[in-house]
Amino acid sequence: MGFSPEVVTTAGRIPLFENVRGILITLVVMGHALEPLLGREPLAKALYSGLYLFHIPAFAFLSGHLSRADSGPRALSAIAWGQLAPLAVFQVLYVAFDAWVLGRGWSSHWLVQPYWLLWFLLSLGCWRLMLPLLLRLPKPLMWAVALALVAGLLPWVGYLFGLSRTFVFLPCFVAGHLTRREWLLAPRNTRGWRLVLAASLAGGLGACVGAVATGALPAPAPQWLYGSSGYAVLGATALTGMAARAALFCGALALTWALFTLSPRQESALTRLGGRSLAPFLLHGFVVRAAEHVGAYAFLQGPVGVALALGAGALLTVLLGQASVVQATRPLWEPRWLFQRKRDAVPGLGR
């Protein structure tokens, strides 16, 4: 299908998707910037919970929408160079940084577990491999949901190789792929009720965050939002665990839809940030970990400290997304020198 001129850039990209990607990468960095404050700042914990209700599922949704359901040697090559190559390079860099700079020593578990934020690259590669297989089945989204729910029953599905997260967020990826593009790019004259509903969902999320911050509502266990643990580890029965996971999936999809509906559709600086989101994604962990290591978070207290952490996270995203930084660091996340091949763009993360 074709799109009207206002929703396609001169480079052939759709500003809405780039804007959503720019918002999401900023939220990812801001969420990680809040982590050192979670143990002592209720507001940080409330905001963190609100972010994790939807920003990872939304990234999976966007990645699925931008991914092709290809199979064969070319698709395998794209996955290898697009996800596994930067994963291999940054796994080594982060583990070395952890051991030599942060002084945490070496651990063999990094041989079977992606470092912190790198799980998304491995999971994305797995989702792209699974997508053509799922699409051959009737009602592929139902199969993806079933896999996500059943995975929580298996004791060996957890942090190992990021398996739990791969299964838990698989339905979001499949839902994104199956969503019709014209539904996401609804004309302005049909968006009135959508804007009202999306704003209501966003307002409801804000109200819940405020209630958690004030203690009126309990904060959900982060492990539920991470999707990295089975039901037994989370202290839930099989039935309760599956019901909670299904509810989180429905809530995440609703908030993802609200994000797409409320995001700007015109080309702007946010569009350019979205197109350069891979560099901030891969690089920001070094800065956040280093800031925590040198004690920078000791000066952040109360709501003002939380606001400063959020602002620093947003600023860090913008800085790491600058063209000069992207160009200077490109050999790290596009390792042609190591693999002698230009990698493909990462769906959902851009370059």
For the segment 48-80, what is each residue's pLDDT rounded down to a tens digit?
999 999 999 999 999 999 998 887 788 887 887
Q: Which residues pair with 346 in a beta bridge?
A: 350
For the segment 122-141, what is each residue's pLDDT rounded down to a tens digit?
999 999 999 999 999 999 99
Q: Which residues pair with 216 in a beta bridge?
A: none
Instruction: Report the largest interatomic distance among the alpha carbons of the chain, rounded to a whole angstrom.
Output: 58
> How much is the average pLDDT of 204-224?
89
Report helix angle 42-52 to 15-34, nearest 10. 150
For the segment 147-190, what is each residue's pLDDT rounded down to a tens digit?
999 999 998 888 888 899 999 999 999 999 999 998 898 765 56
Residue pair 316/29 in contact (Cβ under 8 Å)? The answer is yes
- With a pLDDT cut of 70, the percent of the chain lying above it is 92
For the segment 281-311, what is each residue's pLDDT rounded down to a tens digit?
999 999 999 999 999 999 999 999 999 999 9
Tell me: pLDDT of 112 over 90.
Answer: no
Taking only Cα atoms into account, the Rg of the chain, rounded to an integer number of angstroms, comes to 20
C-alpha distance from residue 183 to each of 7, 68, 188, 193, 261 (Å): 13, 18, 12, 14, 10
User: Looking at residue 338, what is its pLDDT?
Assistant: 58
- With a pLDDT cut of 90, the percent of the chain lying above it is 68
User: Looking at residue 341, what is its pLDDT?
Assistant: 52
Tell me: pLDDT of 24 over 90.
Answer: yes
- Provide the whole-model pTM: 0.92
Residue pair 28/59 in contact (Cβ under 8 Å)? The answer is yes
**pLDDT band at 336; cut points 50, 70, 90:** low
Neighbours of 178 (CB within 10 A): 14
